[in-house]
Structure 1
Amino acid sequence: MTFKPALLSALVAAVAMPAFAQNIAVVNGKAIPSSRAEAVVKQVVAQGQQPDTPQLREMVKKDLIAREVMMQEAIKRGFDKDATVKAQLENVRQSLVVNALAKEYMTKNPISDAEMKAEYDRFKAQAGDKEYHVRHILVETEADAKAVIAKLKAGSKFEDLAKTSKDAGTANNGGDLDWATPTSFPKPFSDAFVSLKKGEVAAAPVQTPNGFHVIKLDDTRAAKLPTFDEVKPQIAEAMAQKKLMAYQDAMVKKAKVQ
């Protein structure tokens, strides 16, 4: 079989096309591979920023060309040999490589639904079945706190005295800390209000790293905890981080560190 010249030229062109398609552009002799553009497009689409359209691809192409031009100029001026830049590049390289290792580890050692459910059940047990509406007045010293408690016993209103609180975020709203579970507070603080009755003020000040607190319980109600499905992504992320830290700690222990 013989091919006519026109047909032969068309076939040669068709065979050559994939080679040209490997690059989106050539800038001062330096090729920009289409795979780089594809990776950027996929990332933008995956993040939900824009759909995959010809306009997006043209924008990515222009951006990569501009970046390549700037990169060539930066290298020409020696910035790639700058000590600070080289140190930053090494940090980025380490992050990328370590992240790849972590991704592979979690792929091979995923967190199971059963593990996440068990973690959720532990959270529910710790949180308890009640929420507490609490107010507080934060002062500098124990003596100051006792003086506040004495004024309350003498008939002063909690909301009025709360205006002197060191907690600027609650001083102007009567010391209101809103509804929360005991696990939302330091244990000495929560231990003080869970034993109170509605409307009661703790008989003694409670000390935390922030100072001394005078605590009042306004009310209680059944806890409105999120469902397992609502917090499953957060549980998965927290447990993955914990698993990765254990993996890292195990490798550090095996390493010869001098």
Structure 2
Amino acid sequence: MTKHYLSLPIFGLLTAMALPASAQDADTVVATVNGTEITIGHMIVARSTLPQQYQQLPNDVLFEGILSQLIDQTLLAQSFEGELPKRTTLSIENERRSLTAAEVIENVLTTALTEEAIQTAYAERLEAFEASEEYNAAHILVETEEEALAVVAELEAGADFAATARNQSTGPSGPNGGDLGWFGPGAMVPSFEAAVIALEVGAVSAPVQTQFGWHVIKLIDTRKTDAPTLDAIRNEIVSDLQASAVASRVESLAETATIDESSAEGIDPAILQDLTLVE
């Protein structure tokens, strides 16, 4: 990084470093550029917006780099002549609107995201929870119905299902004895799922055709799904509470606000691509 302006921040930097920690706050001035102050607060905010990989750099490296960047930006900003382009003014307005709204949202979420609210939402989910059936099955996949019928005959004659799957199945689960693990409704293609549901535990199906070929299926076991623990769905609950709280606040504000969107009627949405309008 070049140090064309190194002489400018030295005094402020040394002063800040010399201050005891208790005397430093967001308003502590670390440098001035033609009378414009750069504070620790400016640096903290600048650091917080850096990409994560840069935030991992040592503090002394970040301090020097951020201060130099803010000085460079201040010099460049001070050199600007004339009126700001409309796009810049509009960007500043949008950014102010966004940041101010974010402050309101943060306050809303602080009130909404209590442990009591999370526990209440979890209890409501438990009350509405309905256990579904899950299946543990294995299969042997072959190309033709004749091959599938031959597999069924071998199994009826006493052949071991897992060994037969390892020797004859063309599916990816073959080396694992055809084991498909546990799965719930909708996880398998309809004809395969229907055959599984119709089986008794331990039974083997007649050949079943799918787009993948012909299957001989064995139902190993069934079970009911357990209700999720709070830890398992906490993030989901928090996300739902956040969305609900913000939507509720916006709806409440809109009910007492005067909002007129009539001017937007008839405007071609393609206008959003016309950057020449904000030059």
* TM-score w.r.t. length of structure 2: 0.48
From 30, 33, 37, the equivalent of 2:36 is 30
Whether contact under 8 Å (2:112, 2:242) holds in the other structure is no
Matched, 1:155 2:151: yes
Match of 1:121 in 2: 126
Within 5 Å, give how 1:78-117 maps onto structure 2. 81=85, 83=87, 93-110=96-113, 112-117=117-122
Match of 2:235 in 1: 234
Q: Distance in 2 between matches of 1:245 and 1:189?
A: 44
Within 5 Å, give how 1:1-258 maps onto structure 2. 22-27=28-33, 29-38=35-44, 56=59, 58-72=60-74, 75=77, 76=79, 81=85, 83=87, 93-110=96-113, 112-122=117-127, 125-128=129-132, 131-134=134-137, 151-155=147-151, 160-162=169-171, 178-180=181-183, 182=184, 185=187, 192=194, 193-198=196-201, 200-201=204-205, 216=217, 217-221=219-223, 223=225, 227-228=229-230, 230-231=231-232, 233-244=234-245, 246-247=247-248, 250=251, 256-258=260-262
Unaligned 5+ runs, structure 1: 1-13, 139-146, 164-169
CA shift, 1:234, in A, is: 1.5
Q: Distance in 1 between matches of 2:176 and 2:189?
A: 24
> Per-residue CA shift, 1:3-31, capped at 9, x if unaligned?
xxxxxxxxxxx9xx889972122245432
Whether contact under 8 Å (1:24, 1:33) holds in the other structure is yes
Unaligned 5+ runs, structure 2: 1-18, 153-163, 263-279
Whether contact under 8 Å (2:135, 2:221) holds in the other structure is yes
Match of 2:272 in 1: none
- The number of aligned residues is 212
Moved more, 231-240 or 214-223: 214-223
* TM-score w.r.t. length of structure 1: 0.51
Whether contact under 8 Å (2:113, 2:238) holds in the other structure is no
Q: 1:25 to 1:162 in 2, by over 3 A?
A: same
Q: Distance in 2 between matches of 1:28 and 1:177?
A: 72
CA shift, 1:116, in A, is: 2.8
- Equivalent residue of 1:126, what SS? coil
| % identity of equivalent residues | 19
Whether contact under 8 Å (1:127, 1:183) holds in the other structure is no
Q: 1:241 to 1:176 in 2, by over 3 A?
A: farther
Whether contact under 8 Å (1:137, 1:214) holds in the other structure is yes
CA shift, 1:65, in A, is: 1.2
Q: 1:213 to 1:237 in 2, by over 3 A?
A: farther
Q: Distance in 1 between matches of 2:250 and 2:190?
A: 32
Q: Distance in 2 between matches of 1:19 and 1:103?
A: 23
Cα RMSD of the aligned pairs, angstroms, is 5.5
Q: Distance in 2 between matches of 1:136 and 1:237?
A: 40
Q: Distance in 2 between matches of 1:88 and 1:215?
A: 63
Q: 1:194 to 1:68 in 2, by over 3 A?
A: farther
Q: Distance in 2 between matches of 1:19 and 1:42?
A: 16
Match for 1:231: what amino acid?
A: A
Whether contact under 8 Å (1:152, 1:158) holds in the other structure is no
Match for 1:239: what amino acid?
A: D
Match of 1:3 in 2: none
Q: Distance in 1 between matches of 2:254 and 2:147?
A: 57
Whether contact under 8 Å (1:135, 1:175) holds in the other structure is yes
